[in-house]
Structure 1
Amino acid sequence: MSLDESLKDGTAVFGVVGLGYVGLPLAVEMAKAGHKVIGVDVSAQRVEQLNRGENYISDVDAHELAGLVGKGLISATVDFSAMASCDAIAICVPTPLDEMKQPDTSYMESAARSIAPHLKAGALVTLESTTYPGTTEEVILPILEGGGRKVGVDLFLAFSPERVDPGNPTYQTQNTPKVVGGVTKECTRLAVAMYGRFIGTLVPVSSTRAAEMTKLLENTFRGVNIALVNELLLLCNRMGINFWEVIDAAKTKPFGFMPFYPGPGLGGHCIPIDPLYLSWKARQYDFRTEFIDLSGRINESMPYYVIERLMEALNRQRKSLNGSRVLVLGVAYKADISDMRESPAIIVVELLRQKGAEVVYHDPHVLEFCPGGDRVERVELTAEEVSSADVVLLITAHAGVDYDLVRREASLVLDTRNALKVPEDPKVVLL
């Protein structure tokens, strides 16, 4: 039976390689549409959890997941041979940087090599991992065509970038428009048909390279604009202007302006990393991405600026950072999630310790925090803890935190997110 036929009658079996922040929500949406989904992951622990119906991703509804597993619609394994029964397979594996800050495609290559021997005739493979333009056709396609198969004839290949925004209650996998670009027109058509089974809006583009570039444009746009406001924050602080007030005033313009906000540094797996994939690829074309390179340097400098501002604030109270007790409030990379990947809090806390500070933290979502492998003591947010700190350093502004308590009990606050909203309080210093 062809993929077209199995999609039409609802019998298509879907495979997902990589069951993390991207793969598990995708598998859930596939299963909710009535399709059997087989997930494969190199983590035996993760596979065992999923097969018990246990959720480990905050954006997935635990009750819903348990029900889908209980009905047999979702199962997981570490054995890639299980992909032999799948009509379509989505690869959702990490795309990190190596030690030289160059693209590390080893996870994608390993996934492709692992599924290649088991692909059934006519199977569709989609790559969702964010990567540089050309990866699908230059790296993945040759692996899948091993053994004399031909993409577009014997199997089908497309790129469709994930657009996961952890912690976003409004836009999730099903209602976020999905960009799709295939190696051939037939590859695109089949990928659109497959994703159309469980995603509301599909956006087909002319090629895999166009789809790959689309995701990098989205994330580079954010990175560059965040760098712009970070730099203007530094300028406004030197000029004695409240930049947060400036942003609030500027965003009242109903056209031609989009607010971005400064902060202690970029975090997450996408924004700090994806622009570097593009700048690396650009160098192969003898092209320097000046904006990307400059914005990266600015954003990477922000944790160091946090320490500078903190030391200035303590000095005004005739205190040294060395020996001060610092209560770090919020260590996840963004509000209302537990994800620690690339969080600026990691660098900030390491710098605080290097300078002799005593560091404790509170984060309602992160129960253990070990930057550099050294555990930081977690405390509850009480009047006693707040008042005993020499300074409260607000890194991530989670909802539900008692900021009135912080404002009332703290002797000094460095607010890197303008969460306290008290510009005239002398003990509250904005980044």
Structure 2
Amino acid sequence: MPADLAVIGLGPLGMPLAQAAVAAGIPTLGYRTGPESGSLTPAELRRMLAQGFRPTTSPAELGRVRTAVICAPTPLGADGTLDLTQVEAAAHTLAARLRPHTTVILESPVPPGTTDEFLRPLLEEGSGLRAGRDFHLAYSPARVDPGNRDFSPASTPKVIGGLTPACTESAAAFYGRLTDKVVRARGPREAETVRLLETNYRHVNIALVNEMAVLCHDLGIDLWDVIRCAETKPFGFQAFRPGPGVGGHALPQDLAAHTPRSLRMVELAQQVNSHMPRYVVQRAATLLNENGKSARSARVLLLGVTYKPDVPDQQGTPAHEIARRLLELGAHVSYHDPYIPTWHVLDRPVPRADSLYESAADADLTILLQHHRTYDLQGLSVKAQLLLDTRGATPTGAAHRL
């Protein structure tokens, strides 16, 4: 069966899109742009293959689809800006096979202006076609929340900004097969900036509650109770919760390298959030000292080392820095995570706890870094000698909370 769609980039953005497409009955090609890894289980991948998903390593097949969506990763470079290398490579590969009337959509996180000023010239020069006349070009910010059971692709509105009104409508016709609601932006710059605002909004608000967590601990105030009460306000407040750090693929961006004006709130939020792993280790050392133990030679068990609950993705997880700092203090670190069979820190394997409750009982300190659904926190709080909960997930009074 010929494919209608090519998803270029099979990482944390591309695989969920391909999954939603084949579930909607769209024959889909998957073209890998690099050593990417998504968060789908083997069972989910098998189901996709049965529904019409076909991974390919042949660039020629990209010229046989009606819609191509570029989901190549854009990690932070050494200078702190987004690295567009894989987007550029994807554009070159697609341009050489681009046919008239194809709809090309970019979903990768990019700075405003990238679709028109960076992607468009690459596609036009490589294909000899003109965007807006010979093929459609648009941007749509990816809205992927791994592990979230409340919002599926069908129930999550998609924002689209096309180079021309016809480009927007062509992209809208494609996404209308996947979602119940399509939102049309004025153009690709506006759509690109939607992603920027959504990502920075998350990081700034997490930074606020992370600062509140430190302050409330110093003042002897239960922040988790404060949040519980505050979120009853029906207007003007959205609840965010503190944690050991902020991971994931949606990176905050202040655009200082692209414009003469930086976003100072975002820069400050990055500083606050990047300090949280160090703060967790400080709290851990203090708890050990208060219980007559030293961090040096202490047995510390880390629970949950992924960046989100119930997914196997470790992108940007604060668990790495926390484990590294504990090891540097001389602690004996082990871990448990139902999604991560092996784990390495400082280029050496970290022992995995096979028996969760026995390991918690044996450890001098257990630190909950990620609350997976499989964890019985009431049982763990009884078994653990000392439990530090960085997610506020344990029953009140059952553990020391962040």
The TM tier, using the shorter chain, reads over 0.9
Structure 2 counterpart SS, 1:421: coil
* Higher mean displacement: 210-219 or 245-254: 245-254
Provide the rounded CA distance (Å) in 1 between the counterparts of 2:15 and 2:167.
Answer: 24
Aligned partner of 1:402 in structure 2 is: 376
Alignment check: 8 A CA contact 1:327 1:392 kept: yes
The alpha-carbon deviation at position 289 of structure 1 amounts to: 0.8
Provide the rounded CA distance (Å) in 1 between the counterparts of 2:3 and 2:9.
Answer: 19
- Whether 1:111 aligns to 2:90 is yes
Alignment check: 8 A CA contact 1:265 1:300 kept: yes
**AA paired with 1:118?**
R
Figure out how many residues of one structure are paired with residues of the other and give that number. Answer: 401
Provide the rounded CA distance (Å) in 1 between the counterparts of 2:36 and 2:290.
Answer: 50
- Whether 1:176 aligns to 2:182 is no
Provide the rounded CA distance (Å) in 2 between the counterparts of 1:11 and 1:176.
Answer: 28
Provide the rounded CA distance (Å) in 2 between the counterparts of 1:12 and 1:349.
Answer: 45
Structure 1 counterpart SS, 2:346: helix
Alignment check: 8 A CA contact 1:94 1:108 kept: yes
Aligned partner of 1:22 in structure 2 is: 13
- Whether 1:336 aligns to 2:310 is yes
Alignment check: 8 A CA contact 1:323 1:357 kept: yes
- Show CA shifts across 1:46-91 (max 9, x none): 8xxxxxxxx97149835532421xxxx3212112111111111001
Aligned partner of 2:400 in structure 1 is: 429
Q: Which runs of 5+ in 2 are unaligned?
A: none
Alignment check: 8 A CA contact 2:141 2:191 kept: yes
- Show CA shifts across 1:267-304 (max 9, x none): 1111xx2x22xx13x45332121100000000000000
- Show CA shifts across 1:139-166 (max 9, x none): 1001011054211111111001110100
* Correspondence list, 1:221-370, <5 A: 221-270=201-250, 273=251, 275-276=252-253, 279-280=254-255, 282-370=256-344
The alpha-carbon deviation at position 11 of structure 1 amounts to: 8.1
Structure 1's 343 and 65: CA in aligned 2 closer, same or farther, altered over 3 A?
A: same
Provide the rounded CA distance (Å) in 2 between the counterparts of 1:28 and 1:398.
Answer: 23
Q: Which runs of 5+ in 1 are unaligned?
A: 1-9, 47-54
Alignment check: 8 A CA contact 1:43 1:78 kept: no
- Show CA shifts across 1:346-384 (max 9, x none): 110011111111000111121111133321111134432
Aligned partner of 1:67 in structure 2 is: 50
Aligned partner of 1:156 in structure 2 is: 136
**AA paired with 2:379?**
L
Structure 2 counterpart SS, 1:261: coil
The alpha-carbon deviation at position 219 of structure 1 amounts to: 1.3
Aligned partner of 1:50 in structure 2 is: none
Structure 1's 167 and 59: CA in aligned 2 closer, same or farther, altered over 3 A?
A: farther
Structure 1's 61 and 170: CA in aligned 2 closer, same or farther, altered over 3 A?
A: farther
Aligned partner of 1:93 in structure 2 is: 72
The alpha-carbon deviation at position 12 of structure 1 amounts to: 7.2
**AA paired with 2:30?**
G
- State the superposition RMSD in angstroms: 2.1
Aligned partner of 1:125 in structure 2 is: 104
Provide the rounded CA distance (Å) in 2 between the counterparts of 1:89 and 1:381.
Answer: 46
The alpha-carbon deviation at position 43 of structure 1 amounts to: 5.8
- Whether 1:416 aligns to 2:386 is no
Structure 1's 29 and 236: CA in aligned 2 closer, same or farther, altered over 3 A?
A: closer
- The percent of aligned pairs where both chains have the same amino acid is 38
Structure 2 counterpart SS, 1:174: helix
The alpha-carbon deviation at position 13 of structure 1 amounts to: 1.8
The alpha-carbon deviation at position 44 of structure 1 amounts to: 9.1
Structure 2 counterpart SS, 1:378: coil
Provide the rounded CA distance (Å) in 1 between the counterparts of 2:306 and 2:296.
Answer: 25
- Whether 1:57 aligns to 2:40 is yes
